């Protein structure tokens, strides 16, 4: 499938799915169960509002979401207490599949959610969105409800920027534009139609999630796209315009660390897919500099993009979901 054809067929705007009653009816007709997961680590400032809006609009007013859980990495603020007080099911990632151990990272939370939650479709939404709205969920699950051939739906959106041309920005964030999009253009040009590959909001069918590995850190979103594309092709994807997303911006130093982790996962997949064989062992120490007057100090960070295996390989999961 050509990128242009995919864009025309599989790119949506959330307003196309405004009729939530009709969406709920189709979900129930197909016998689908939808789970919503918010991965958290110290998100006490925004988590309460997200839960209030999602529960009131998508569970009580329109029963689109059947299960709503917060999977927490071990917050030291009031994230878990606030989430529980507003009615979300709250789980510590370390308590899920304890026999597999605990690894700190967003990807770990997403992976553990596959076992903990029971939906046929799992929708992931980041916890730091200050302009949260039900469209962050229904805009993503709707293509999966209406189109059986769609398996993985990504969000894309504006970030609030100052611009005077009247032309709406249509790119991703800084790491997308200076790292991921160039890499996709070089090695996977079919995936360049995905406008924001690093978006933290996406909805996926269980039978897809259980078959792909999960980097525990920064590389999880990029790796998902590569693994799903390799196994199911471009036609498995769709994307929905959510209009605008307001969230906290990360520092350039933090984005450097993110890029280092993404590169590890990306290069590992190039080798696995046979596109760049014989890659030498990669360093896992990321080096940055701090300068004060004429004192030049190198700062090092150990960033190892460990990966969890496909969930289908975990005995407890196979037993719970009758995958024996």
> pLDDT of 115-136, one tens digit each?
999 999 999 999 999 899 999 9
Q: What is the pLDDT of residue 245?
A: 86
Q: Is the pLDDT of residue 145 over 90?
A: yes
C-alpha to C-alpha distance for 310 and 2, rounded to whole angstroms: 29
Q: What is the pLDDT of residue 248?
A: 66
Backbone angles phi, psi at 217, to 5 degrees: -120, -135
Q: Is the pLDDT of residue 324 over 80?
A: no
C-alpha to C-alpha distance for 121 and 141, rounded to whole angstroms: 8
- How buried is 46 (Cβ within 10 angstroms: 0-12 exposed, 13-18 middle, 19+ buried)? buried
C-alpha to C-alpha distance for 203 and 34, rounded to whole angstroms: 9
At residue 167 the predicted structure's pLDDT band, cuts being 50, 70 and 90, is very low
Span 182-187, average pLDDT: 97
Tokens describing residue 155? 């969000």
Q: What is the pLDDT of residue 194?
A: 96
C-alpha to C-alpha distance for 169 and 162, rounded to whole angstroms: 10
- Match domain 3-170+190-250+309-320 to its CATH number in 3.40.50.720, 3.40.50.300, 2.40.110.10, 3.90.550.10: 3.90.550.10
Span 101-118, average pLDDT: 95
Q: Is the pLDDT of residue 147 over 50?
A: yes
Q: What is the pLDDT of residue 251?
A: 85
Residue with tokens 């009031």: 78
Domain ranges, ordered by start, for the chain: 3-170+190-250+309-320
| Cβ contact 89:2 at 8 Å | no
For helices 106-116 and 220-232, angle between their N-to-C axes, nearest 10 degrees: 50
How would you write the chain as a 3-class SS string?
A: CCHHHHHHHHEEEHHHHCCHHHHHHHHHHCCCCEEEEEEECCCCCCHHHHHHHHHHHHHHHCCCCCEEEEEECCCCCCHHHHHHHCCCEEEEHHHCCHHHCCCCCHHHHHHHHHHHCCCCEEEECCCCCCCCCCHHHHHHHHHHHHCCCCCEEEEEEECCCCCCCCCCCCCCCHHHHHHHHHHHHHHCHHHHHCCCCCCCCEEEEHHHHCCCCEECCCCHHHHHHHHHHHHHCHHHEEEEEEEECCCCCCCHHHHHHHHHHHHHHHHHHHHHCCCCCCCCCCCCEEEEEEEECCEEEEEEEECCCCEECCHHHCHHHHHHCCCC
C-alpha to C-alpha distance for 124 and 140, rounded to whole angstroms: 9
Q: Is the pLDDT of residue 17 over 70?
A: yes
């Amino acid at each position: 499938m050509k990128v242009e054809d995919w864009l025309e067929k599989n790119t949506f705007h959330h307003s196309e799915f405004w009729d939530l009653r009709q969406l709920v009816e189709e979900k129930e007709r197909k016998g689908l169960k939808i789970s919503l997961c918010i991965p958290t680590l110290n998100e006490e400032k925004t988590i309460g509002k997200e839960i209030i809006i999602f529960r009131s609009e998508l569970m009580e007013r329109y029963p689109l979401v059947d299960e709503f859980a917060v999977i927490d990495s071990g917050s030291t603020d009031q994230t878990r207490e606030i989430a529980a007080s507003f009615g979300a099911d709250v789980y510590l990632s370390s308590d899920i599949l304890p026999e597999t151990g605990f690894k700190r990272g967003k990807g770990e939370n997403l992976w553990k959610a596959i076992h903990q939650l029971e939906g046929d479709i799992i929708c992931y939404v980041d916890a730091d969105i200050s302009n949260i709205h039900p469209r962050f969920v229904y805009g993503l699950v709707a293509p999966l409800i209406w189109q059986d051939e769609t398996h993985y739906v990504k969000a894309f959106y504006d970030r609030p920027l100052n611009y005077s041309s009247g032309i709406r920005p249509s790119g991703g964030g800084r790491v997308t534009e200076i790292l991921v999009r160039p890499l996709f253009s070089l090695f996977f040009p079919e995936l360049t139609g995905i406008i924001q590959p690093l978006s933290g909001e996406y909805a996926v069918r269980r039978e897809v999630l259980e078959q792909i590995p999960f980097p525990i850190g920064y590389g999880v979103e990029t790796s998902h796209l590569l693994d799903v594309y390799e196994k199911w092709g471009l036609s498995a994807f769709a994307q929905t315009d959510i209009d605008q997303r307001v969230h906290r911006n990360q520092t350039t130093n933090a984005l450097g660390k993110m890029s280092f982790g993404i590169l590890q996962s990306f290069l590992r997949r190039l080798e696995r897919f046979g596109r760049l064989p014989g890659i030498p062992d990669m360093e896992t120490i990321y080096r940055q500099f701090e300068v004060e007057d004429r004192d030049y100090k190198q700062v090092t960070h150990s960033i190892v993009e460990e990966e969890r295996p496909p969930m289908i390989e975990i005995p407890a999961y196979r037993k719970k979901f009758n995958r024996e």
